[in-house]
Amino acid sequence: MKKIALLLLLLTPIFSSAQLLEDAGIQQVILKATDKIYNYEFDEADEYIRAVKAKYPQHPVVPVMKAIQLYWQHLPLKENKAATTQYVNNLNQGIALSKKLLDRNANDPEGVFFSLASHGYLAMKYHYDDETLKAVGEAQKAYGYLKKGFKLMEKNPEFYFSTGLYNYYRERYPLDHPASKPLLIFFQDGDMPLGMKQMETAIRQGLFTRTETAIYLGHIYLEHEGQPARAAAVMKPLADKYPQNPIFNLMGAEALVLAGRYREAQPYIERLQKLPQKFLAMPVHVLEGLVAEKMNGDLKLATEQYQAAIKLPVDDVHTKEFAAQAYSGLARIAARAGDRNRAKAMYKKALSVAEYKSTIREAKNYLKS
C-alpha cells in the first residue's frame, strides 16, 4: 500500500460502528501486515499494524498481530526473554480487549475468535517451555471459546481452523497417547477426515488463519498421515510466497525430499543455506544427507551429513524430528554395510526422539526383524 493510502486510512474515524469482520478495507490491510510478517519484512508490517490500530484502537486484532510478529521475528522465541515478555503481554492484552467485546455480546464472533487465539498461543508457549500447569490452564480457557466456535463457522470462516484442528486432534491424540482416553471422556468427539477438510476450507476462506492453518495441516500430513506429497502441496506455495521465512522453506524442502522430489527440493535447500537463523544448519545437513543417500546413492557424503547434523544442537520445536531422520539415515547405511549392531543402535536413538509415524514405523520394523 502506498503512503497516501495509509494516510487516508489513518484519517478514517476511529469510532467506527462496523466490526472488523465487515470491514473489507481493513481486512486487506491485515492481510498485507501478515504477509510482511511471514516474509520477515517487519518494518513494513509495523506500518500496516499502526494503520489497523488507528482505525480500531481497542480491537484485540492489534496486540495479537504484534504477538505473532514477535514470535516470527525472534524465532526461536524462548531464547529471547525480553521478546517473550512482550509476547505474553500482548496476548494478555488481546484477552482483555476480547473480553470487552464479549461483555457487550457473549457470542461476538471476533471476541470469541481472539480470546481463543490469545489463550491458544499462550498455551502453546507454556507447553514448549514445559510449564505444564500454565499450559493446561490456558488450554482449558481456550476450550470454552473453541466450543462456541463450532457454531460460528458460517459467520466467521476463521473458525474452520480451530474446529478442524480440534476434530483432528481430539481423535488423534488418544490414539498416540492411550493413557489420555479417560481424561477426554467429557470432551466432544472429533472426526479426523472432517477435521482435515475443515482446515482445507480455512486455507481457502480464512483471513487471519489461512497461513497458520497451512502450517498445521502440512505438519499433520508429515507427522501423522505419512503423506509428504500432500504436505508439499500445502507448504511449497508458502515457501514460494514467503521466500525469507525459515520455517516455510524448511517444511517445503522437507516435504519435497520425503516425497522423493529431490531436484525440486534443491532450490529450497539452497535458500535455507543463505538464511541467517542458526538453528537451520542442523536440518540442512539432514536434507542434504537424504538427497545424497536416496537420489545420488552417495553413502559416504550422506554419512558425513548425518554425522554433522547430530553434533549440532536440537531445537525441540523445529528440528527434533530431523535428528530422528539423521539417526535413521545412519541406521540404513549401517544395515547396508551389514553392521546390524550399529543399525539397531541408531534406530533406537531415532525412536528416542522421533515423532513422525513413518520414522517410528521404519525403526520398529527393523528392530523387530
Examine the pLDDT at 81 and tell me if it is beyond 50: yes
Q: 17 pLDDT exceeds 60?
A: no
Sequence-ordered list of residues with C-beta below 8 angstroms from that of 192, at least 6 positions apart, any chain = 167, 168, 171, 172
Mean pLDDT in residue range 246-267: 98
Distance CA 44, CA 30 (A): 12
Q: What is the pLDDT of residues 20-37, one digit of tens each?
A: 767 889 989 999 999 999
pLDDT, tens digit, 9 for 90 and up, residues 227-242: 999 999 999 999 999 9
Sign of CA dihedral 142, 144, 147, 152: negative
Residue 14's CB is within 10 A of a number of other CB atoms, namely 12
Asked whether the predicted pLDDT for residue 13 surpasses 50, the reply is no
Q: Please check whether residue 284 is in contact with residue 264, taking contact to mean a CB–CB distance below 8 angstroms.
A: no
What is the reported pTM?
0.89
In this prediction, residue 21 carries a pLDDT of 66
pLDDT at 256: 98
Residues 6+ apart with CB under 8 A from 307: 326, 330
pLDDT (tens digit, 9 = 90+) per residue, 269-294? Answer: 999 999 999 999 999 999 999 999 99
Task: Give the separation between CA 303 and CA 294, rounded to whole angstroms.
Answer: 12
Query: What confidence score (pLDDT) does residue 248 get?
Result: 97
Of residues 303 and 162, more confidence is placed in 303
| pLDDT tens profile 325-340 | 999 999 999 999 999 9
Mean pLDDT of the chain: 90
Average of per-residue pLDDT across 109-134: 88
* 322 or 182, higher pLDDT: 322
